[in-house]
Amino acid sequence: VRTQVVVIGAGPAGLVLANALQQAGIDCVVAERETRRHVVNRARAGMLEHRTVELLRGLGLADGLLAKGSRRSSCEFRWDDRRVVLRYGELTGGREHHVYPQQHLVADLLDAFTAHGGTVLFSHPAVALSAGTVTLWPPRAVAPIDIGCDFVAGCDGFHGISRRTLHEHVGLHERSYPFGWVTALIQPPGGTDEVVYALHPNGFAGRMPRTATTSRCYLQCATADQVRDWPDERVRDELGRRLGEALPVRAEIAEKSVMRLRSSMVGGMTHANVALLGDAAHLVTPAGAKGMNLAVQDAVALADGLRVHYREGLRDPLPRYGRERLDKAWLAQEFSHWMLDLISGPEPGDPFARNLRLARVRRLLESRSFATAFARTYVGM
Ligand SMILES: Cc1cc2nc3c(=O)[nH]c(=O)nc-3n(C[C@H](O)[C@H](O)[C@H](O)COP(=O)(O)OP(=O)(O)OC[C@H]3O[C@@H](n4cnc5c(N)ncnc54)[C@H](O)[C@@H]3O)c2cc1C
């Protein structure tokens, strides 16, 4: 079996790439380890930057999110008894975030690709890859199959085989943080209007809208904490305490997990004919909501490079893709790292650290030039 591009992974990066290649008349096959059902139910991100939406719209892939998603152009910071709203849309000429759950976007991308004859091999994990061949293990097969190709697009996330295979060639720079975040989907009282960042003496709490009735919540916790340390009652109490709003006892709490916060960046995003995209190349913490956006933007950039390669004979399209996207990913990484440090730290209970953090937040909210710089990066300009 042979194709022009094998895409490993049917997340946002892989599926945007597959759609863009299909539209450019470039043959590709998507290989995904999980089932379709698993992929379209995996709730994760939900904040799409203005630029990401424009890219998706340009590919005709934004109809679902424009019809069913919502928009946000402000976020609220809370500490002590203060609640201050930062209207970043007003500082960026009306740019805003679109709120649309990642799993809904993934479902739309799958539908668009398969409606035009695209092939996604579900339950086909990639088990080996080289510059010209990807080896897949089909379900219930006794032996793997090889697919030959011109290019391999490693879109299989941080734990996938692509990054691990390229690791020894391109290297990896990592940072882990001395605290974690408990995260869960909840139904907060009074709808899910604002994005909220609360800086409480017990640690950070955050709430990001996902659908009309559901928000993803985050609670800073100790690195050693396990999900069993955070029964629903404790999550509900602590969210209520840190956000300053009581959650109804019956508010449903779903998909609870403890995130070990870390950032990682590959030293290079390409090697030979293999390109890394999205989380396979760069992992950012949820602070700043950059991960899914980077994944989509990588995919559009790689598709552009491959289109010029096949149409106009541009040789070696990957190095340029790798250089440009790595620079962009470091900018997003820097913002995410800065934002994490703004809202969350290892020292709940340390008044010096807390007051420094609050002074930074006040400067952000009180200085128009500081707020404008924040707003532009936050919304992805
Ligand atoms: C709880 C949580 C909240 C988040 N919140 C935000 C947010 O608000 N905003 C934001 O922008 N980002 C957020 N993110 C990050 C965002 O979800 C990721 O950055 C995004 O999913 C990256 O997309 P991707 O396509 O690169 O990788 P993934 O979505 O991880 O997709 C990789 C795919 O590859 C498949 N795969 C893995 N190994 C193999 C293999 N060997 N063979 C074949 N297939 C394989 C996987 O099953 C998966 O389908 C959040 C993440 C989490 C976990």
Taking the CA of residue 46 as reference, the ligand 1 atom at the shortest distance is 8
Does the beta carbon of 379 sit less than 6 angstroms from any atom of ligand 1? no
CA of 370 to the centre of ligand 1 (A): 31
Q: What is d(CA 282, CA 170) in angstroms, rounded to the nearest whole number? A: 12
Task: Enter the pTM of the model.
Answer: 0.95
Does the beta carbon of 290 sit less than 6 angstroms from any atom of ligand 1? yes
Structure token pair of residue 248: 């109804």
CA of 381 to the centre of ligand 1 (A): 23
97 close to 71: Cβ distance less than 8 angstroms = yes
The H-assigned helical ranges of 249-350 are 291-312, 318-343
* Tens digit of each residue's pLDDT, the chain (381 residues): 899 999 999 999 999 999 999 999 999 999 999 999 999 999 899 999 999 999 999 999 999 999 999 999 999 999 999 999 999 999 999 999 999 999 999 999 999 999 999 999 999 999 999 889 999 999 999 999 999 999 999 999 999 999 999 999 999 999 999 999 999 999 866 666 789 999 999 999 999 988 888 899 999 999 999 999 999 999 999 999 999 987 777 778 999 999 999 999 999 999 999 999 999 999 999 999 999 999 999 999 999 999 999 999 888 999 999 999 999 999 999 999 999 999 998 877 788 999 999 999 999 999 999 999 999 999 998
The H-assigned helical ranges of 120-204 are 161-170
- Going by C-beta distance under 8 Å and a sequence separation of 6 or more, which residues neighbour residue 354? 199, 201, 347, 348
CA of 280 to the centre of ligand 1 (A): 9
User: Helix 102-115 to helix 12-23 angle, to the nearest 10 degrees?
Assistant: 30
Pick left, alpha or beta for residue 266 (phi over 0 → left; psi -120 to 50 → alpha; otherwise beta).
beta
Q: Which residue in 319, 356, 308, 6 sits closest to 148, CA to CA?
A: 6
Q: What is d(CA 39, CA 43) in angstroms, rounded to the nearest whole number? A: 9
